[in-house]
Chains A and B, each alone.
Chain A
């Protein structure tokens, strides 16, 4: 898969980039002479390889440093435009909403870290060794970089301080029984606290324009640091508090229930943050009470009754016919004009009705199934209502958010929506029913035969021209649909690969214990298939995240477009495109490397490659 290829490429690039740098052969203090000899100069070929790659690495870093520390570089451009790069034109007076969102995500992240027991104990001597290596690396860079003599001395001093701290830690760390350890989480918090503290000291960027009828340059520029130092300090406190809260809950409550709750909260977070907090729907209560709630209640009562009846073991074949009729009715609603919410609710009901016989059983099971229907119906009704309501946040431009926020939003929605669609397509493609197999095959092969750009342009530019008058598809919704369809086709093939790895014996064993096809698929085949498909799936997700930058072609102002065109399009920062691109590279890298780390954790947890 293309996405997988890119993912593994990143991993290999990261590996080649970091391994020789953390252990450069020029630092005689760090590794013993034998280690160097055994690892880097073991054979003539190996020696040549070491020398050549060292030369290449040194030239590369020298040129990079020459570029970065060139006085004509406008690094101020990224610092000053941080807000633009993160959220585009979100209004200043409403910015609290962004911070609330960040706080919610950090709370979830902090408590998840506690509940899943992330972080590990790291020996203090190991930490010392790492700091020592960092100091050596800094010395190397300071000598390479085209600094003035004064600056070189300053950097060298800083490097020596780092190395000295490392050496001290290494010596005091203890050994064997007396070895002291430190949690990696503590180290991360210390690093974050250092970053936040730097906001209070260093005036990053300047935020020089004041919005007026005719915007003017302020005489006394404020700084980006000025407006973010307090919020980020609060965020640091929030994430630490969330972690300890998570520890408390973990020790007092059932761990499994806590994990399920957190997963549900994570899944609920994107729509809640986007549609409730960032957009803040301006509810017309009369309409909500007069129309939305009655529709919900009607569906809740009728649907529950239907589902309770359908899940009765005694209902039998007639239930399936009724369910199929509901589905037909759901599709038929598109023939006559009516509210979209009526159609969607009916389709959801049809889905539940069709699946109902699988969940047939005792009263408790039936009640639980009906409860699931009610919860899903409630979430969907709320989403549709809040989406269909005007926002109280007035933001200029085509969409209320941009920059990194829209990159993340499109990536998350695409990944979350295309996974179930991909599973459905993979199942359909491997099914024994020719119509569905053909449809799925055609769809997958067609989508994979068309470039993503074509699909995006079709959905954003052509589709609005085909839509009937009065029907309007928001640009972001259009591209997310296009993206989901594209991504699902690739996901389906990844999952199909997993499905084929499940041996015939598993199928037969499942059938032998009397499982139905649905039970066999859900409980035997899919778990094994998905486990095998994790690496390509995560590779694909990384690909999706990076492909969001193609949105720029159709005028969605994502992070890369901001850095490449909008920031250099300011009179003040004309010609700063390369600085901005260098600034966004680490952002993309951090997100992608986190995803790949998560994939490794899941692989370990599911024992992939071990059994």
Chain B
């Protein structure tokens, strides 16, 4: 009888140890706030704790918090790169800074969260990030069933192919010309599906080689293991500028990409006030770029007439009406820059220019267009 008690005790003890070990760990990074009486919510992330504005828009929450939580990739060349000191740069990062400047008044009030492709939408749904600037393609399923809403496209990308001139390819080559080629690409992405579909439609027979990382794709391409590589045009241009060996000449084709990849801000659906704030930050950067206003000359234009004046806070009721400070977009231009400035600063170094591309302004034959501010 006595030994039974002891067995019971031993097992209870082990369960107790388990409970204590789990329990203390459970609290170790958690905010177990079952009741409002509990101390301020904790995460390991050192953020100032602000109560979520219940029932209100994310706009109020971000303004109360004073910091924008922005989801980026953190490892996408020219879009969002993590620099050696840990800071984040790139065109996506600059749009994060722009939204932060518009909503909180300072472009510094942004906290970047680097997200992988698989967790980005969950991060929005759980409220870990307020907005995604993570080269996310606007698609029907993401817009509807995934539960996202998309802002204005900030970069029109599209899948293209890259081959060697010595293999007889030129800028005017078409998908039909790759018949019989070995094509390298990343596995598990839509890139793979797109090229297979495009080749089928064009009647070209290709051999697809899949690789885990882009670097392996280009190593193989340089070594001659494949005739063609394919991915989004922006990445191809960057690789060509950086990695083309002296004894090879690469060419990117077809001029019209085989897929449409509109990239832009992404946020949770059904929050109009927040959507307006993000969208009109981008629109303001596009409109003011059309007028040739930059961070250098914005101070000379504050008192201007008409659209520029309205956006820069001359008559602030447009911005005030949507819950922003009257000079919100002045701060955006002053601290971050207009669309063209941001584009040139980040994408020119990797060989991407606006002229002649889909990302030129609508006046120059491109697709970058904004509704009027009035």
Chain A positions near chain B (C-beta within 8 angstroms): 72, 80-81, 83-84, 88-92, 207-211, 213-215, 279, 287, 291, 320, 324, 327, 330, 337-341, 343-344, 347-348, 350-351, 354-355, 357-358, 380, 383-384, 387-400, 413, 417, 420-421, 423-425, 427-428, 431-433, 436, 457, 460-461, 464-465, 468, 470-478, 480-481, 484, 516-518, 521, 552-555, 557, 564-566, 568-571, 574-578
Chain A proximity mask over B69-112: 1 for CB below 8 Å, otherwise 0: 00001111110011111111100001001000000000110011
Chain A proximity mask over B206-219: 1 for CB below 8 Å, otherwise 0: 00000001111011
9 contacts between A and B (CB under 8 A): A84-B84, A90-B86, A209-B87, A213-B335, A214-B97, A338-B34, A433-B8, A480-B25, A575-B242
Instruction: Give Cα A381 to B318, complex, Å.
Output: 52
Question: Using a CB-CB cutoff of 8 Å, which residues 9-29 of chain B contact chain A?
Answer: 9-29
B30 near A521 with CB under 8 A, answer no
Stretch at the interface among B117-125, B167-175, B285-293: B117-125
A215 near B84 with CB under 8 A, answer no
Residue of A392, A554, A575 touching B119 (CB-CB under 8 A)? A554
Cβ of B335: which chain A residues have Cβ within 8 Å of it? 213
- Nearest to B46 among chain A residues (CB) is A391
- Nearest to B43 among chain A residues (CB) is A474
Residue of A215, A355, A384, A568 touching B89 (CB-CB under 8 A)? A215
Kindly state whether residue B116 has any CB partner on chain A within 8 Å.
yes
Instruction: Give Cα A536 to B29, complex, Å.
Output: 30
Residue of B10, B42, B218 touching A427 (CB-CB under 8 A)? B10
Cβ of B112: which chain A residues have Cβ within 8 Å of it? 396-397
Nearest Cβ in chain B — how far from A67, in angstroms? Answer: 10
Whether A384 contacts B41 in the complex (CB less than 8 A), given A279-B46, A424-B17, A574-B243, comes out as no
B32 near A517 with CB under 8 A, answer no
Chain A proximity mask over B333-356: 1 for CB below 8 Å, otherwise 0: 001110000000100011000000
Nearest Cβ in chain A — how far from B115, in angstroms? Answer: 6
A571 near B30 with CB under 8 A, answer no
Cβ of B49: which chain A residues have Cβ within 8 Å of it? 390
Nearest Cβ in chain A — how far from B75, in angstroms? Answer: 3
Nearest Cβ in chain B — how far from A319, in angstroms? Answer: 11
B28 near A477 with CB under 8 A, answer yes
A351 near B111 with CB under 8 A, answer no
Nearest Cβ in chain A — how far from B79, in angstroms? Answer: 9
- Nearest to A352 among chain B residues (CB) is B16
Nearest Cβ in chain A — how far from B338, in angstroms? Answer: 13
A564 near B239 with CB under 8 A, answer no
Cβ of B218: which chain A residues have Cβ within 8 Å of it? 575
Size range of the interface on B? 35 or more
Kindly state whether residue B113 has any CB partner on chain A within 8 Å.
yes
Nearest Cβ in chain B — how far from A188, in angstroms? Answer: 30
Chain B positions near chain A (C-beta within 8 angstroms): 2-3, 5-35, 37-49, 73-78, 81-89, 94, 97, 107-108, 111-116, 118-119, 122, 125-126, 128, 213-216, 218-219, 238-239, 242-243, 245, 335-337, 345, 349-350
Instruction: Give Cα A421 to B18, complex, Å.
Output: 6
Whether A388 contacts B39 in the complex (CB less than 8 A), given A553-B118, A569-B77, A570-B83, comes out as yes
In the complex, besides A470-B33, A475-B44, A568-B213, 11 extra interface pairs with C-beta distance below 8 angstroms are A215-B89, A330-B19, A357-B9, A383-B24, A383-B28, A396-B86, A397-B45, A473-B30, A484-B21, A516-B2, A517-B6
**Interface SS of chain A: helix, strand, loop or mixed?**
helix
Nearest Cβ in chain A — how far from B313, in angstroms? Answer: 20
Whether A569 contacts B84 in the complex (CB less than 8 A), given A355-B13, A357-B9, A477-B28, comes out as no
Whether A344 contacts B87 in the complex (CB less than 8 A), given A89-B82, A473-B30, comes out as no
Whether A477 contacts B30 in the complex (CB less than 8 A), given A213-B107, A395-B46, A421-B21, comes out as yes
- Nearest to A208 among chain B residues (CB) is B84
Residue of B40, B87, B128, B350 touching A571 (CB-CB under 8 A)? B350
B113 near A575 with CB under 8 A, answer no
Whether A471 contacts B12 in the complex (CB less than 8 A), given A209-B83, A571-B78, A574-B239, comes out as no
Cβ of B3: which chain A residues have Cβ within 8 Å of it? 516-517
A420 near B21 with CB under 8 A, answer yes
B87 near A211 with CB under 8 A, answer yes
Instruction: Give Cα A553 to B113, complex, Å.
Output: 15
- Nearest to B5 among chain A residues (CB) is A320
B242 near A340 with CB under 8 A, answer no
In order of increasing CB-CB distance, the 10 nearest A-B pairs are A477-B29, A89-B86, A569-B75, A337-B35, A391-B46, A474-B29, A351-B16, A424-B14, A577-B215, A517-B6
Instruction: Give Cα A389 to B24, complex, Å.
Output: 15
B349 near A571 with CB under 8 A, answer yes
Instruction: Give Cα A424 to B30, complex, Å.
Output: 24
Instruction: Give Cα A351 to B5, complex, Å.
Output: 16
A472 near B43 with CB under 8 A, answer yes
A472 near B87 with CB under 8 A, answer no
Nearest Cβ in chain B — how far from A296, in angstroms? Answer: 14
Question: Which of B47, B82, B87, B108 counts the most A-chain CB atoms under 10 A from its CB?
Answer: B82
Instruction: Give Cα A490 to B239, complex, Å.
Output: 44
Nearest Cβ in chain B — how far from A440, in angstroms? Answer: 9
Nearest Cβ in chain A — how far from B330, in angstroms? Answer: 15
Cβ of A72: which chain B residues have Cβ within 8 Å of it? 245
B24 near A344 with CB under 8 A, answer yes
Cβ of A341: which chain B residues have Cβ within 8 Å of it? 27
A215 near B82 with CB under 8 A, answer no
A84 near B86 with CB under 8 A, answer yes
Instruction: Give Cα A564 to B24, complex, Å.
Output: 34
B74 near A557 with CB under 8 A, answer yes
Question: Which of B19, B94, B108 counts the most A-chain CB atoms under 10 A from its CB?
Answer: B19
Cβ of B116: which chain A residues have Cβ within 8 Å of it? 552-555
Whether A214 contacts B345 in the complex (CB less than 8 A), given A472-B43, A517-B3, A518-B10, comes out as yes
Whether A387 contacts B29 in the complex (CB less than 8 A), given A343-B23, A575-B239, comes out as yes
A347 near B16 with CB under 8 A, answer yes
- Nearest to A339 among chain B residues (CB) is B38
Residue of B23, B108, B213 touching A344 (CB-CB under 8 A)? B23
B113 near A398 with CB under 8 A, answer yes
- Nearest to B72 among chain A residues (CB) is A397
Instruction: Give Cα A96 to B238, complex, Å.
Output: 37
A400 near B16 with CB under 8 A, answer no
Whether A574 contacts B34 in the complex (CB less than 8 A), given A84-B86, A564-B213, comes out as no
Question: Which of B89, B114, B242 counts the most A-chain CB atoms under 10 A from its CB?
Answer: B114
